[in-house]
Every structure is written in C-alpha cells, then in structure tokens.
Chains A and B, each alone.
Chain A
Amino acid sequence: MDPRKKFIETLNSYKKGSISRREFLGKTGLGLATAVMAMNMPGLMGLRQANAASKLGNRVSLATWPNYHDPENLKKFTEKTGVHIQHNVFGSNEEMLAKVQAGGSPFDVMVITNYTISTYVKLGLLEPLDLSKLPNFIEANHEQVFIGEAKIGGKIYAVPKNWGTTGYVVNTKKIKDKMTTWKQFWDLTITKYSGRTIVHDYQLTAIGNALKYFGYSFNSIDPKELAEAEKLMIKAKPHLFAISSDYQPAMRNGDAWMSICWTGDGSQLHRDMPEIQYVLGKEGGELWTDFFAIPKSAEHLEAAYALTNFLLDPAVNAAEVKKHGYPATDKLTNKLLPKEMLDDPIMYPAKELLDPLEFGAAATLTSPLRAEVMARFKAA
C-alpha cells in the first residue's frame, strides 16, 4: 500500500477515534499544526502543488468545528483550484470570536452559530456577503427560520451550513431508565449515576440546560433564574465525570454514560454504538444553525468565496451531511440524501420535541453574568 495513503488513513482514523476532538485540537492548536504541515508539505499530503498563478491565490484558512467536513471534499477543492485549506478547529464560538476580536486576519471563512452573528456585525467584523459570488446559495431553498439571524437590515451577512439541536446522549446498556427530560438528566446525575455524566465546557449549553431543569428559558440572563441554575450546577459538580466539550472518547470507552451532546456527535456515536441514544429534553433546549461567514479581515477573499460556494454545492454538501450527520438547511441537498437519513430521528426529531426548542440569544454571548456563572461553576 502507498505509504502516503496509509499515513493519511492513519491520521484520519486518529481523527475519527479520539485525537482530533473539539477541545484537544481547539485548545492545543494541533489542528492548525496539521493544516500548516499539509500546506507546507503538499507532497506529504498527496496534494497537487499549489498553483500560485491562479487568481484565487494558493491558500485559504477555514475556522470550523471538529468532525464537521468530509476530508474528501476538502481535498477535492484543493485539487480543483490549487488552493490549500488551512483547517482550524475550535471549541466554542466564544473562542473563535476572541481570536478575530484580538485583531490580525486569522481566518478567511468562519463557521459561526446563529446567536453570534449580530455581535460580529456590531463589532464591525463582518460585511454583507457578495451573493453574486455564491451562486450555490439560493435563498428560497432555505427555510426563513434558518436564515433569519444572518439577515440584518435586509442584507445577508452569512449563509447557512447546517442546523441541529443540543440534547444529550445516553448509554442505554448502562442506564435503563427511560430518559426524556432535562430534569431526569440532572437528577440522575446527582443520584444514581454519580460520576458518569459530562457537561459541556460551554456557557450556552451548560447553563442553558440547567435553566431548563427549572423550566426557565434556555437563554435567560435573569439574575434570579441564573442563581438557581448555578446552584444546581454546583450541586451536580462533584457528581460529574467531566466538564468538557470533548465527550466522544469518554462515551465510547464507557467511562461516561451520559453527556450533553450535539446532533452530529449523537449521529456519529449512535452509528458506531447503537446502544448510545440521543435524547431531546421535553422541556426544550437549543435549536441552532451554523453559518459560513467571511470576516472583513479575510486576507484571501476570492478563495474564501470560492470555498464557501464549493461547500454549498448540493452534491458536495450531501457528502458532508453523510459524513458528519448534521442535517442541511438546503432543500437541493436534502433531495440527494438517502431516505433513511431523512427519517433519522436524531437528525430530524419529532415536531413535538422541536417545538419547545429555542435559538440561542445574542445576549448570552456578551452577558458578564453568564460568563461568571460558568466560571464559578468550573472553579467550585
């Protein structure tokens, strides 16, 4: 076997298994290192030499989430255009914003979540997109509910990539209770399954789902409601296995039996281990859309548009969905997906479960109160 191919395969299997998890890569910048390696040693990665003469330039940097792209697609883009992709993987929207806010021009294309867009725009970090350069984005093919937050003053600042929910995964071989609510999630964490639960290291979902225990809004910034949520979180803390957004390895090896979880991680875990099931709390929780955005500071503007447009191509997008298990917002993409995927209850939960979900609110991103609740929870 071609040693080069073998190396890539090993690398990819590491990525799939445990090494390239959200927190690890995000915190360590190892994803960046891999990208730099890929860029500077194209021979090693089996890529065509960059075509410096192309008007797109020879590189583009992408800020995104782990396990959120089909590596084959990214490779195809480079083969087609000669543009190498520097693939940066993040742990939270806050962290991505922090990097851009600190200045410089760290990224050309960013995958950001709905509730952050208005803050990016207010900070002057995003400009309206030139839609003529994104022919694969056809507004009519996306439901308005998924585009809403990217449209400010009639202008579109970002185009939707995927949508999803935030629920929790349960290992049903270990947990026999029929899990349906956030109340159960926290109550059983504190009692029966002490030491087996993971809570995200992410203010939005950790605090939001503690608020759901009391039936408050996922987005509350009310001091009294937050104080109750904080009390619950601190009470649960000694019973947690970890506070981490890197939950796949612990769920896979059986250390943890329950974890707050995003749709795609739920799909991936369930695909490999059918006993792991994805639950949406009856009380509600988060519904979200991720968008492609091109920051004002982007250094490789043409390449950024080219990459975004490429990833929005229905065929490419469908391959992405098959890989990562997050539903697409684009109707044309959905037409290309197999029926069993469109019927999958993890990706497309029942209407009565979707109805109570809320989109994250911009206020949670900038609320010093929520930041401090999270900090006190982690320091407790």
Chain B
Amino acid sequence: MAKKSSSYVTTLLLAPMAIWMTALLILPILVVLVYSFGELAEMGGYKPAFTLAQYANLPARLTAFKNTLVLAPAGTLAAFLIAYPLAYYLARTVEPRRRMILLTLVIVPFWTSFLIRTYAWMFILGGRGIPALLEFIGIEGVRLLNTPTAVLIGIVYGYLPLMVFPIFVSLEKVDESLLEASNDLGASPVRTFLQVTLPLSLPGVATACMIVFILLMGEFLIPALLGGGKVFFIGNALVDLFLQSRNWPFGSAVAITLVVVMLVIVSLYMRMIFKPGKTQDVSMI
C-alpha cells in the first residue's frame, strides 16, 4: 500500500516536467522535423511535401558548420584554461571569509543583460577601445572588432561564469585528507595536483565543458555583434533562414542537422569522459 502511494506521488511530481518537456520540447522538435522534409512555398514559409532536397542542400551551409565546429571547441577550451585556475583559487586558496564576496563578483555580470554586455564589447574592441590603447604604447594597426579573435574574446567573457561554477563545486568537494595523504606519502604538490586534485575535479570539468559547448553550438549573438556579420555561425545561418529568407524547410533541415551533430558529439564525449572503469579508478584513490 505504502509503495503504491509513493509511486503515485512520484508520478504526480514528475507530471509537470513531463508535460512541459512534451509540449515545449518534443512536439516542437517533431514539427521542425516534419517541416524539414517540406518545400519552400512560393511566398516564403512552408509547403507540405516529402522530399530530401533540403538535406541535399546542406553543403550550402558547410562554412557555417565548420566555423561553429572550430570556434565552439576553441572557445570552450579557452574558457576552461582561464576558468580552472580561477575556480581552484576560489575553492582551495582564498580565505573562506572572502570566498563569498569573490563568488558573488563572478555572478554580478549576470545582473545585466548579456546583450548589453556584448554590445559594450563592441566599443572596447572597436577603434577607440583596446586598439587605441595599443597605439598609445606604440603598437599600431591592430584590428580586433569583427574578427574571429573578437568573437573568441566575447565567448570567453560571456561563458566564463558557467565554466567556473561546476569546476568550483567539484574542487571544493575534494577531501582535504586525500591531499594530506598524498603529501605524507611523498608526492610533490605538482604530482598531487595531477594525480589527485585534477582527476577528482574531472566530473565538474566535464559538466562545465559540456554546458558551455552545447550553448556555444547554438550561439548567434556574439558572432553577430562582435563578428560584424563576417564570422558566421550555424546559429546565424538559422536566424537568416527563418527571419530573412523565410525558408522554413531548409532552416528546419539545418536545425535538425545541428541537433543530430550535437547529439553525436555529446554522446561520444560522455562515453569518453564518464567511462565506468575510470570513475572506479578515481573512487579507489
């Protein structure tokens, strides 16, 4: 009896989520899937049909896929390289008293719209921003705005907090006694870091990288504002297909392809990172 009522409670608790996911995620994706086999109506929009023509046309957006598949991992890596030392400092070095303040500072940018902050970077990277400063110290002719570098800077800036937090949490959870044991057994600090701290923080690193990577694959705002329309992501291709060409079937095919590419990459990634054997190794240390 008790068991039955608990399963009833479980169903009840999961229902809102299930309804939410079905109505707002699965159904829309199905609509997009159906559209992707359709044809472009004469005045723009969608005309029912069953054709693979939209998928056959995918090479027309190859550059956008390529740009995204280069800059999204590059951005993830750059954000990771900057975020890890910061997270380490916050979790292990700084006095607990000041930790709260510093953590809050990491969140503060979220209080302002991401758009406004990215727009602000247009001025920082524009001719009167950093290039003007560089000119002042004698380095001339530097162009930053509307280059892939500017997009990369924008990405690192925008996604850093998302990278810092999961890593911070996993580093903070590392048991101090393990580090002491490593030290007592004669390992150097570097070795302790490489063989104890780093492996134990990997789940956090993996989560952080995945969140950032997935979001970056759909990014369109940063390339639009900081790339000046010259750095074209798949997200920008989608915006143009729906809002400029009004080519819903092709836009849908590109969207479905993006989802598939992402699913493949993420599942390979998960398999690589979360190997059962590896987790056991870690827990045995």
Contact = CB atoms under 8 A, between A and B. Distances in A.
List 5 A-B pairs, minimum CB-CB distance, nearest first.
A242-B228, A243-B229, A371-B245, A255-B127, A379-B63
Interface of B: 40, 42-45, 60-61, 63-64, 113, 115, 119, 122-123, 126-128, 143, 145-146, 221, 224-225, 228-230, 232, 236-237, 239-247
A372 B246 CA distance: 11
A23 B230 contact: no
B146 A242 contact: yes
**Consensus secondary structure, chain A interface:** helix
Given A98-B244, A378-B229, A379-B61, 7 more contacts: A95-B243, A242-B146, A253-B126, A253-B128, A368-B40, A372-B245, A379-B63
Given A101-B45, A379-B61, A379-B63, A244 B247 contact: no
Interface in A185-209: 195, 201, 203
Contact of B246 (A18, A94, A244, A380): A94
A380 B63 contact: yes
Interface centre among B40, B221, B232, B239, by most A CB within 10 Å? B232
Nearest to A120: B43
A241 interface: yes
Interface stretch (A24-32, A73-81, A290-298): A24-32
B119 A375 contact: no
Interface residues of A, number: 41
A378 B240 contact: yes
B228 A243 contact: yes
Contacts of B122: 249
B126 A24 contact: no
Interface string A286-307: 0000000000000000000000
Contact of B244 (A95, A376, A380): A95
A223 to B, nearest CB: 15
B230 A240 contact: yes
Nearest to B64: A379
B130 to A, nearest CB: 12
Contact of B146 (A98, A101, A241): A241
B230 A242 contact: yes
